[in-house]
Amino acid sequence: MSTTLSLCRCGGRMNKAAVGGGGGGGGPTAAAAVAAAQKQKTLLQRVDADVSNLVDNFSHLVNLARVNDPPVRNSQEAFQMEIRAARMVQAAESLRNLVSELKQTAIFSGFGSLNDNVDRQVAEFNRLEEGSERLLEKVGEQAAANLKELEAQYYSSVLRSSQGDDG
């Protein structure tokens, strides 16, 4: 069990190093990609071995389940059945541990991808903020220019001149 936990912790650290590495690519490093591929290959080999072990032991159990007349032969077969059943339990426990390890790896890897998504969204929002600021500056400049033009037209208009003469 300690091997499983150390592998998961190592995977978590690899993802953190790849995310916070400060490289321009933002993706996993080449070493992390090779390590992930190697780990995937190892996990697939473990799955294949455990499943084939389960199938082999189950087929032997079914073959041994025949009832024979000599009592000595039946007790030998019963002992073989117990051994096969114990091997099946071991293979099933190994698969269960593998599933647990995969879940832990998914959780730890999920944090790395979550951080990547957050970083991408922060960068996108910063870009949108800069665009909005530029747009607001343009709108402000256009409003100021339009206001000056309107003021100039108002002060030079006939209507203002006639109101000034009346008052």
Distance spanning both ends of the chain, measured CA to CA: 97
The confidence score (pLDDT) of residue 157 equals 80
Contact of 112 with 16, CB cutoff 8 Å:
yes
Burial class for 19, CB neighbours closer than 10 Å (0-12, 13-18, 19+)? buried
pLDDT digits (tens, 9 = 90+) for 61-86: 888 777 666 666 677 888 888 999 99
Quote the tokens at residue 47. 């799955």
The residue-averaged pLDDT of 150-166 equals 74
Q: Are 18 and 34 in contact (CB under 8 A)?
A: no
User: How much is the mean pLDDT over the chain?
Assistant: 75
Residue at 124: amino acid letter: E
Every domain of the chain and the residues it spans: 2-12+28-166
Decide if pLDDT at 165 tops 50. yes
Structural tokens at position 89: 């339990």
Counting residues of the chain whose pLDDT is more than 70, the rounded percentage is 67
Q: Quick one: pLDDT at residue 123?
A: 92
pTM of the predicted structure, to 2 decimals: 0.43
Q: Which of 156, 161, 119 is nearest to 21 (CA)?
A: 119
Indicate the pLDDT class of residue 114, thresholds 50, 70 and 90.
Answer: low
* pLDDT of amino acid 16: 33
Nearest to 26 by CA among 17, 35, 36, 34: 17
* Calpha distance 78→151 (Å, rounded): 106
Higher pLDDT, 68 or 51: 51
Residue 133: pLDDT over 80? yes
Helices (H) and strands (E) in the chain, counts: 4, 0
What is the b/e burial string over 67-90, where b = at least 16 CB atoms within 10 angstroms of the residue's CB? eeeeeeeeeebeeebeebeebbee
